[in-house]
Chains A and B, each alone.
Chain A
Amino acid sequence: MQLIIDKVGKLYGGKVWALRNFSLALRPGVLGLLGPNGAGKTTLMNIIATITRATEGTVTWNGADLKREPDAVRAVLGYLPQDFGVYPNLNAVEFLEYFAAVKGLDGASARRRIDELLQLVNLADMRKRPLGGYSGGMRQRVGIAQALLNDPQLLIVDEPTAGLDPEERVRFRNLLSDLSGDRIVILSTHIVSDVEATATDIALISGGTLVAHAPPEELLRAAEGWVWEWVVPSSELGAAKQRYLISGTVRRADGVHVRLLTECAPAGAVPVAATLEDAYLHCLSTHRAQLAEVAAK
């Protein structure tokens, strides 16, 4: 089971490259896709999910080129887009039965699977209520069930925990971890803690290019020695923000505890262990500094 993205680019409107020269090889596990807004994450997922065609490069699933054989991946794909709608007059069972038919599942397998999935996403009690009355979080859970309907080998989820309450979010994270053993899961999110909890690999995208692809441990190691905690009076917080890259602040009785990312720490700052959020910010800032350096030359 292998998904290979080779030098993929996507040009919009003949002038804007949302993705450029992007290469990645994926094997079973959870890939956390991180990057700022507009980095090209959704474009990448749309290309892999065969929603849109790459302008250049190839994506192959177990050797099948998706440009020529899109159904090779569609048959084993579970896709949860960031924005999607539901048919408001159908209830959860009817909606999932419809997608089971579209995905080509036979009736008996579909019914059993739908029962299990509705229990899994905790909607079994509301299964006969029309989707038009569901809240955003409940619709999101129907979407998750839809993505898992065909027992996908490739699962792509874009901001899957958006709208879920904390309890459901934790349950979904655990589900993703459980599912990842024998399939490829691509998880795109801005919630770094979701990635921290589930990802076996992280791909960091910025400006349509791949900045880093590594296990979380490797990204954390790269940020070691860069993260400091520094206590400053409230009045000096503004000046500190201008001077350093700050990943967090906590107000305490002795002042503001500032978490900053820098190679040269100010006097009084103490080194602390990097979190994945620190590693993400460090990686991005280093990349941007390199780009600025190249542009200056």
Chain B
Amino acid sequence: MTRGRVLYHLARADFLERVRRYGFLLTLAFAAGLAFLTYSGNIALELGEYRGVYNSAWVGSMMTLVSTTFVTLAGFYMVKNTIARDRQTRVGLVLATTPMSKSLYTLGKALSNFAVLAAMVGVLAAAAAILQLARPEGAGFEPGKLLAPFIWVALPAMAMTAAVAVLFETLPVLRGGAGNVIYFFAWSAYLGLSGVTGANDYLGLGFFMRSMTSALKLVDPSHREDQFTFQAGPVVHTTKTFLWNGVDWTPQVLLGRLQWVAIAIGIAWLAALFFHRFDPAREGWRRQKTAPEPVEDRAGANELSLARAAAVQLTPLARTARGSPFGRLVLSELLLMLKGHGWWWYWVAAGLFAASLAVPNAQARQAVAAVAWLWPVLIWSQMGAREARYDTGKLVFSCAHALDRQLPAVWAAGVVVAISTGGGLGIRLLIGGDWPGFTAWMAGALFVPTLALALGVWSGSSRLFEAVYTLWWYAGPMNHVPGLDFTGMARWQFGTPFYGLAALALLATAYFGRRRKLGYA
């Protein structure tokens, strides 16, 4: 029972620490926002021209799919900071000295992650009940049928997400922003496969697809499986309804769902293998290769240096010597952004630059140019959040002109990175005399770092930009969703004014966010 008690208190303390932050309210607001989008028809489950009658089974399942598709993505980024917090607050060092086992720790952290995600699912379950009561169709309100999909599909999916988040945190290579990007692509690929195979995937997409399609085929034998769509976007009006009474929750089905809980526990346990109890000497590949080695303090051991130090006279600074060195500040910010990347990072960036300039095939060039603006995502994501991450806020913000000089310098450095990395396409557009394309590209070069700065300033973290930008990049530059491509290649007539104005609005947002944090203007 002692292990159970330790597990409970580990998860409880972590959960309480999270729910007492404003960020948790944002988390619940996100869930409520998803519920509203579903209610207003902007997130819809359709089978060709059909949708299910709004009975408890359909509404519960639809809202469950909202949970498993959106919360498993956004929620992952929201909870993937539980071990990092212990490291930052140094509570981890204290925990590491206790008899608590590594597996108990990772299980406790996964449990806490699960509790946060389950709270979001709870909001969506409440919203499902409201939705059905607001739009009564078919049989009356059946709580069992409404809640069963949440319990048997959504919660196991949250358990998986919670455990994977802990695993990512314990693996040094996946701990940072690279892990966030990798998760996005892995999640996208899995989601795509789930819809195709119709298997008992942990997200439940194929699981529901199989059941709903079977029910619809009884009504309309011409219906095809590939017409099952669950998407966010403008309302598509379905014209027909069919009755679906929900999944038959047989013991076999339940066991199939419970297997995901078992797998989640296994993943959390696996994470313990990579968790090194906050030992700074075992931080993993990154530390060994690029992180600084401990420096021996030779002060006091060297009489010569001591004597030299004692003899130092500080030269008084002439007050008039200070100019307005904005350029130097931009260079300093740029150095800060770029420092710490291996040589390979610059080689890849240079390769992408050259390829987006020289590749003759237009489609291939577009793809390379898009990747060129994904490559610096971890550099941009530091913008506006660096002071919070490294706890240098008091040093920076007590300097003169922190608002009207340092913040614009960070922004300018970010724009320099955008122009440098994506410049191949810009030059190509310029050489080709494609002025509309060039101005749209330029608007994109202003938009991306400004988005990073605004999100960094307001969230105090790099994760929000990494999540939003990766999603945006995937929909826009990669999949050419109308209006979302900011690279200037989409030939959207409003691209330049839209992204130019968006950059201006975001810059103002960043300014006011920083101003609010400074206390003083």
Which chain B residues border A288 with CB–CB below 8 Å?
Answer: none
The chain A residue sitting closest to B394, CB to CB, is A81
The stretch among B151-159, B196-204, B331-339, B348-356 that forms the contact with chain A is B331-339
B281-297 contacts to A, CB under 8 A, are 291-295, 297
Closest 8 A/B residue pairs (Cβ): A85-B391, A130-B292, A89-B340, A133-B292, A132-B292, A74-B400, A151-B317, A70-B520
- Given A116-B314, A122-B309, decide whether A79 and B395 contact each other with a Cβ distance below 8 A: yes
Q: Taking the nearest CB of chain B, how far is it from the CB of A90, in angstroms?
A: 6
User: Which A99-141 residues have a C-beta within 8 angstroms of B?
Assistant: 99, 101-107, 109, 112-113, 116-117, 119-126, 129-135, 137-138, 141
Answer whether residue B321 sits at the interface, using C-beta atoms and an 8 A cutoff: yes
- Write the chain A residue with the least CB distance to B322: A104
Contact flag A121-B309 (CB < 8 Å), given A89-B340, A90-B336, A130-B292: yes
Query: Is the Cβ of A138 less than 8 Å from the Cβ of B309?
Result: no
Contact A86 B310 (CB under 8 A): no
Are the C-beta atoms of A104 and B332 separated by less than 8 Å? no
Partner among A71, A81, A107, A150 whose Cβ is within 8 Å of the Cβ of B401:
A71
Residues of chain A contacted by B343 (CB below 8 angstroms): none
Q: A83-B391, A99-B399 are in contact. Are A134 and B295 (CB under 8 A)?
A: yes
Kindly list chain A residues whose C-beta atoms are within 8 Å of the C-beta of B144: none
Docked complex: B365-412 residues within 8 A CB-CB of A: 386, 390-392, 394-402, 405-406
Q: Report if A88-B291 is in contact (Cβ < 8 Å); known contacts: A102-B396, A104-B322, A107-B325.
A: yes
Digitize A151-169: 1 where CB-to-B-CB distance is under 8 Å, 0 elsewhere. Answer: 1000000000000010110
Q: Measuring CB to CB, which residues of chain A are less than 8 angstroms from any residue of chain B? A: 46, 49-53, 66-67, 70-71, 74-75, 77, 79, 81, 83-90, 94, 97-99, 101-107, 109, 112-113, 116-117, 119-126, 129-135, 137-138, 141, 143, 146, 148, 150-151, 165, 167-168, 171
B362 at the interface (CB under 8 A from A): no
- A130–B396 Cα gap in the complex (Å)? 19
Is A131 within 8 A of B292, CB to CB? yes
B300-340: CB near A (< 8 Å → 1, else 0) gives 10100110111011111110011111001101100110011
- Report B-chain residues with C-beta under 8 Å of the C-beta of A167: 299-300
**Are A84 and B315 closer than 8 Å at their CB atoms?**
no
Interface size of B by CB at 8 A reads: 54
Chain B neighbourhood of A74, CB < 8 A: 398-402
Residue of B nearest to A48 (CB): B398
Let me know if A119 and B312 touch, CB within 8 A: yes
| 20 A-B contacts (beta carbon < 8 Å) | A46-B394, A71-B401, A77-B399, A83-B391, A84-B391, A87-B390, A90-B336, A94-B335, A102-B405, A103-B400, A105-B325, A112-B315, A122-B299, A124-B308, A125-B302, A126-B298, A131-B292, A132-B292, A150-B317, A167-B300
What CA separation (Å) do A104 and B405 show in the bound complex?
9
Binary CB contact string for chain B from 25 to 36 against chain A (1 if under 8 A, 0 otherwise): 000000000000
Kindly report which residue of chain B lies nearest to residue A132, judged by CB atoms: B292
Contact call B521/A70, Cβ cutoff below 8 A: yes
In the bound complex, residues from chain B placing their C-beta under 8 Å from that of A123 are 299
Cβ of B309 to closest chain A Cβ, rounded Å:
5
- Asked whether A84 and B325 contact (CB < 8 A) given A97-B332, A102-B402, A113-B315, the answer is no
Does B433 reach chain A (CB closer than 8 Å)?
Answer: no
Residues of A within 8 A of B329 (CB): 101-102
Residue B519 interfacial (CB < 8 Å): yes
Cross-chain contact A84 with B394 (CB below 8 angstroms): yes
- Tell me which residues across on chain B come within 8 A of A137, comparing CB atoms: 297
Chain A residue with the shortest CB-CB distance to B331: A101
Indicate whether A135 sits within 8 Å of B294 (C-beta atoms), given known contacts A106-B325, A113-B317, A119-B308.
yes
Q: How far is the CA of A104 from the CA of B332 in the complex (A)?
A: 12
The docked-state distance in angstroms from the alpha carbon of A268 to that of B312 is 52
A223 vs chain B, min Cβ distance (A): 35
Q: Which residues of B contact A67 (CB under 8 A)?
A: 520
Question: Do B308 and A51 touch (CB < 8 A)?
Answer: no
A101 cross-chain contacts in B, Cβ below 8 A: 325, 328-329, 331-332
In the complex, A113 Cα to B312 Cα: how many Å? 11
Which residue of chain A is the closest to B340 with respect to CB atoms?
A: A89
Given A94-B335, A97-B332, A85-B392 contact (CB < 8 Å): yes
Q: Which residues of B contact A132 (CB under 8 A)?
A: 291-292
B293, B318, B395, B521, most chain A CB atoms within 10 A: B395
Q: Are A86 and B390 closer than 8 Å at their CB atoms?
A: yes
Q: With A98-B336, A125-B298 given, is the CB distance from A86 to B392 under 8 Å?
A: yes
**Residues of B with Cβ closer than 8 Å to A?**
291-295, 297-300, 302, 305-306, 308-310, 312-318, 321-325, 328-329, 331-332, 335-336, 339-340, 386, 390-392, 394-402, 405-406, 518-521
Report if A50-B292 is in contact (Cβ < 8 Å); known contacts: A109-B317, A121-B309, A135-B297: no
A168 touches B317 (CB 8 A): no
List 17 additional A-B contacts (Cβ < 8 Å) besides A90-B335, A121-B309, A129-B292: A51-B397, A51-B519, A53-B519, A70-B521, A74-B401, A74-B402, A81-B394, A81-B395, A84-B395, A89-B340, A99-B399, A104-B401, A107-B328, A116-B314, A122-B309, A126-B298, A171-B310
Cα distance A81–B519 in the bound complex, in angstroms: 17
B residues less than 8 Å from A143 (CB atoms): 395
Cβ–Cβ contact B315 & A146, under 8 A: no
The complex places the Cα of A171 from the Cα of B308 at a distance, in Å, of: 13
Would A109 and B297 count as touching, CB distance under 8 A?
A: no
Specify which chain B residues have a CB less than 8 angstroms from the CB of A85 in the assembled complex: 390-392
User: Which B-chain residue is minimally distant from A99 (CB atoms)?
Assistant: B395
- Docked complex Cα distance between A119 and B302 (Å): 13
Contact of A120 among B297, B300, B312, B518 (CB under 8 A): B312
Which residues of B sit under 8 angstroms from A125, Cβ to Cβ? 298, 302, 305
- Chain A residues in 8 Å Cβ range of B390: 85-88
Kindly list chain B residues whose C-beta atoms are within 8 Å of the C-beta of A83. 391
The answer to whether B314 touches A168, judged by C-beta atoms less than 8 angstroms apart, is no
* Contact A103 B399, beta carbon cutoff 8 Å: yes
Closest partner residue, chain A, to B306 (CB atom): A122
With the chains together, A112 CA to B70 CA distance in Å? Answer: 55
Within the complex, the shortest CB–CB distance from A240 to chain B, in Å, comes to 35
Residues of A within 8 A of B331 (CB): 101
B399 near A102 (CB under 8 angstroms)? yes
**Contact: B308 with A50, CB < 8 Å?**
no
Q: How far is the CA of A109 from the CA of B308 in the complex (A)?
A: 21
Q: Which chain A residue has the least Cβ–Cβ distance from B299? A: A122
> B300 touching A52 by the CB < 8 A rule?
no
Given known A-B contacts A49-B398, A71-B401, A75-B400, A168 and B299 have beta carbons under 8 A apart: yes
Whether the pair B305, A122 counts as a contact (CB closer than 8 A) is yes
Knowing A88-B291, A133-B295, A146-B395, the reply to whether A104 touches B336 (Cβ < 8 A) is no
Residues of B within 8 A of A71 (CB): 400-401
Measured in the bound complex, the distance between the Cα atoms of B386 and A49 in whole Å is: 20
Does A88 contact B406, Cβ atoms closer than 8 Å? Answer: no
Q: Which residues of A contact B328 (CB under 8 A)?
A: 101, 107
When C-beta atoms are compared, the residue in chain B nearest to A104 turns out to be B322
